[in-house]
Structure formats: C-alpha cells, structure tokens
Amino acid sequence: MKNSFIFKIFLVFVAAVLLIFSVFTAILAYRQYHALRENLLKTGESVAELLAYSVRTGVFAENKGILKNVIHGAMLQKDVLSVIIADAQGKVLMASRRVQNNRYVVETEATGIPPIPYPLPGHRGIEIREVHATVEFTKPVLIEAMDQYEISLYFDNDSPERSYVIAGFIKIILDKTVVYSEIYSILIRNAIILLFIILAGTGAVFVFLRRITMPLSRLTGSVVHLGEGEPFVYDVPPADDEIGKLAKALMSMYENLCSREREKSTLQEENVRTLERMVSEERRHNIEKETMLKDLHDGLGGIITGIKLLSEIALELLSRIQLPSRAPCGGQEKNNPALFAHLAKVLTTLLERAEEGRSEIKGFMQSLDGRDWGSLIAEMRLYGQQVLEPHHISFTLTHDISVPDRTLSSSLFLTLFKIFREALTNVTKHAQAVNVFVSFSVSPEKLILALRDDGIGLKEPTGRGRGIPNMKSRGESVGGTVSVYTDKGTVVRLEIRAPFDPYL
C-alpha cells in the first residue's frame, strides 16, 4: 500500500494542501492580528480621549457622582477591563474593574490600586503600554487655563491663545485576549475548512486517480500474467492517452510473440516429424541393409564362394591327371590333351569370374556397411595388392583427405571403387606394367582419383571394348569426368569438382 502510486499521489496532495493552507492561514492570521490590534488601539485611544474630555469637571471639582457616571458608561464597552481616574498628583480618585460573569465593580476608595506615576512622558499625548494580555492607555485630563476659569468650564472658547493645565489622569485597561480569541477562532475555522478540503479532496483525488490508474493496474496485471505464461487479456478499451498507447504496444507485442510462438511450435513439430521420419527411414534402411547383407552373404556370396572352391579343386585334380598319348591296339583316344587344356582354361576363367564376383559383392557390402573415406582407401589398398601381386606388379597408393571423415553415399563409394577396379583389371590384362601408382585426394573444391602405370600405354582406340566407356559413364553419374590417356604408360584420371556432396 505504501508503495502504491495512488498512496504517493495522496501524500503529495495532502502535503500540498497543508503547505498552501498553512501559508494562507499564517498570512491571514498575521494580517488579522495586526488589524485587530490596530482596531483595539484605536478603540482605546478613542475611549481615553472621550473619558479625558468627559471627566474634566468631575476631576476639577472631585465630584465622585460625575466620575461614577462616566465610569459606568466606559465599562459598558466589553473590551474594557478597568478604568482609573486620578488627580494631577496621581492620587486615585475612583476606579472600576471587571469581575466574573462580565460584571464590574466601582471603587470610590483607592484601596489597593497603585497610583498613576507622575509626571507622564509628553504633555497632551496618550501613553500606551502592552502588558501580557492587556493594553493600558493613560491620558492626562486637561483644562483650559484663563482669567475667567469658571467660564471655561461651561462655555467653549475658540481663542487661538488658549493654554491648558493638567487637572488629572485617566487610565483605561483593555482586554487584548479578544485579539487572541479572534486569531484562535480563525485558526480553528481554517483547520475545519482544511480538514473538510482534505476529506473532500481525498475522495475526489482517489476517484480521479482510480480512473487514471485502473487501466494501468489492469495492464500491469495482464503483463504479470503474461510473464507467468498465461494469455494476455486486457479488458479495457485502449484510449488515446499514454496508457492506451502503451496497452496497444503491449497487445501488438503479445500478438507478435504469439505468432512467433505458433510458428516456432509449427517448426518444431515439423522438425520432430522430419526427425522421426529420418529415424524411421534410417531404421528401415538399416534393417534392409542387414537383410541384404545377410542375403548376399548367405546366398550369392556362398554360391560364388562354392564355385571358386570347386574350380580350385577341379584345377588341382586336373594337374594330377596323367595324360597317356595313345590308346592300346590302335584304338580311339580315351584322353584328349586339347580337351583337358580347354577345360583347364574354362576352369581358370571361371575362377577369375568367381573372384571378380566375390570382390563385387564385397565392395557392395562394404558400401552398405562402412562408407567413410578410410574404409574406401583401405578397401582399394587391399584389392590392389590382391589383384596385382600375383602378376608381380608393384602397387603404391597415396592419399590426401582434407574433408571430414564421415559416412559417404553408397553410389559414390561404389562408383569410385568400380572405376578403380576396372582400371586395375585393364592393367593386368593389357598394360604389361611393372609398377602401378594410385593417388587419391579429396578437398572441399574437388575430388581426384588418378591411376598411373609404367606399361606400354594405349595401343588401340579407346572406343573399343566396354571397360573405358563404363568408367566414363560411371564418372558422369556422380558429376565427374574420366580421362584416359598415354603418358609413359596409361593414365586413368577421375575428377569431380565442387559443388558436390559426398555424404548422405
């Protein structure tokens, strides 16, 4: 509550009202005090002047009846507390004082009343003294000094050469608490007005601030709910003021966030579905691959291996057979040497084709199983040694791989291996070479597979036979080119330039 915006504005309002009203009340009290004081002084001076004029005869004759009547008239003034009349020496002739219930007593005997000090400052003026809550006015009673003094008591004489003598003194004491009471009443009245203004202003300010801050409070609540993950709901129509503009901006931001969140959710769902599909396809691919590998190994691989073993056994048996030149008694030949030679050749060819089939199946299985650069290089190295060493041909393979060693695509793996195998087959059949050098390099810009021998080179057009056209066709299938030419032997070069993606 203490930290609320309405409470702070309320404190500012109350402080401002208190400050303004305090300054206004202080100025008003100050001005009213001086006005009442001046009025009291003027009243005292007027009463003193009147009494000094009215008691001339009574003071001169010391007639207490006249003095008493004058005192009664003066005490009728509510502000007069006391009236003292003294002779020229300051001896009190008669005095009066106010008692309880606004009554007063007149004392003809000056008992207990201090005499008026004499002489007074000045001659015809009025001495004014403010003592605590009272104001004292002391005025000399003057009578005209002339040869016919008695006449001056009953008749006015406007002669500019008049002279006066002091016949006595009067002292009037007025109550100054009337001024204070009026000031107190002003303060109390203003305090009541201030309290009314604060109460009424508090209600008005509260209603006004409530109308102003209610949209802001609801907007704050909506933002808090938004931060907690709940929907952004602002049920107050946005106005054209600053709060309305802020609400519109937040609503627009919320709509954008919701739109982005929906897009993100849709994208995540699509990614999940894509990932699930990829996982499913990979799982299916692995199952099919395992099934295919098993079938190849147990089926066709076993058949070819059996053919190879049988061919080897047949050749071994043929080598042990003794071939007699003629049958006895001039009969027909039972064993034909040419037939045995032809049979040996057929079996040898069958053995070679079985070996090629086994290598083909092995390469195919390798492309399905391990398809990284290292596996490809290891397979080419092993195959090269197995094929060339029986023909007494030296085999050297160098490589430079500057790309990540990741799983290759099956088509690229098989294509590279088949081109390599076809090139080695041509070497064993036609090159009459002693050394074969293979270089294999892969970079982000290009892939190069080059095979060079030191044989007799190409002796017939490259269009004859199926080996070279097959290599070129396979190179084109993966986006590359195969060139075959003679350079101190035969050179087979496959080059694939970027962009190409060798991976899955």
For position 137, which CATH number holds?
3.30.450.20
Angle subtended at Cα 17 by Cα 16 and Cα 19, rounded to the nearest 5 degrees? 65
End-to-end CA distance of the chain: 66
- Of 427 and 318, the structure prediction assigns the larger pLDDT to 427
Q: Which of 231-235, 340-344, 500-504 has the lowest mean pLDDT?
A: 500-504
The average pLDDT across 251-271 equals 83
Phi-psi map region of 185: left, alpha, beta (phi>0 left; psi -120 to 50 alpha): alpha
In a domain, 241, yes or no: no
In a domain, 384, yes or no: yes
Number of structural domains in the chain: 2
In a domain, 421, yes or no: yes
In a domain, 64, yes or no: yes
Give SS3 for 49. Answer: helix
Q: Which of 152-161, 433-442, 493-502 has the lowest mean pLDDT?
A: 152-161
| CA atoms 211, 212, 215, 219: torsion sign | negative
Residues 446 and 406 sit within 8 Å (Cβ to Cβ): no
In a domain, 293, yes or no: no
Backbone angles phi, psi at 254, to 5 degrees: -65, -45
- Residue 78 is part of which domain span? 5-154+162-182
**The pLDDT of residue 122:** 45
Residues 226 and 254 sit within 8 Å (Cβ to Cβ): yes
**The pLDDT of residue 321:** 63
**How confident is the model over 296-335, as pLDDT tens digits?**
555 555 566 667 666 677 667 666 665 555 444 444 445 5
In a domain, 110, yes or no: yes
**The pLDDT of residue 481:** 92
**Residue 270, amino acid:** E
Backbone angles phi, psi at 367, to 5 degrees: -65, -30
Total residue length of the chain = 504
**How confident is the model over 52-69, as pLDDT tens digits?**
888 888 888 888 888 888
Return d(Cα 438, Cα 419) in angstroms, integer.
Answer: 12
β-strand partners of 451? 438, 492
In a domain, 177, yes or no: yes
Judge whether residue 398 has pLDDT over 80: yes
470 Cβ neighbours under 8 A, 6+ residues apart: 418, 422
**How confident is the model over 127-145, as pLDDT tens digits?**
888 888 889 898 888 887 6
> Mean pLDDT over all residues of the chain?
77
- Residue 404 — very low, low, confident or very high, per pLDDT cuts 50/70/90? confident
**The pLDDT of residue 262:** 85
Q: Which of 145-149, 174-178, 468-472, 499-503 has the lowest mean pLDDT?
A: 145-149
In a domain, 286, yes or no: no
**How confident is the model over 93-134, as pLDDT tens digits?**
888 888 877 788 887 765 555 656 545 544 457 888 888 888
- Residue 369 — very low, low, confident or very high, per pLDDT cuts 50/70/90? low
CATH number, domain with residue 386:
3.30.565.10
Q: How far is CA 37 from CA 128, 286, 461, in A?
A: 12, 115, 141
**The pLDDT of residue 453:** 93
The average pLDDT across 67-89 equals 86
| pLDDT > 70: percent of the chain | 66
